[in-house]
A and B are shown apart, each in its own frame.
Chain A
Amino acid sequence: MTIAQRPLSLTVNGHAVGPIDVPEDMMMLDFLHEYLDLTGSRLGCGQGICHACTIILDDPAKGALEMRTCITGAHFFAGKTVRTIEGHAERDASGNVVRLSAVQQAFIEHFAFQCGYCTPGFVTGTTVLMERLRKAPVARADVEQAIEDALAPHICRCTGYVRYYQAVREVILNTPGLVTG
Chain B
Amino acid sequence: MPGSLAVEVYGLAKRYGATTAVHDISFTAATGRVLALLGPNGAGKTTTVETCEGYRSPDAGRVRVLGLDPVRERRLLAPRIGVMLQRGGVYPSARPLEMLRLLASFAADPLDPDELVDRLGLRESAGTPYRRLSGGQQQRLSLALALVSRPAVVFLDEPTAGLDPQARLATWDLVRELRADGVAVVLTTHAMDDAAELADDVVIIDAGRVVATGTPAELTAGPARLTFRAPPGLDVAALAAALPAGCGVAEQPAGHYAVTGAADPALVSAIAAWCADHGVLAGDLTVARRTLEDVFLELTGRELRV
Please say whether chains A and B are actual partners in one complex: no
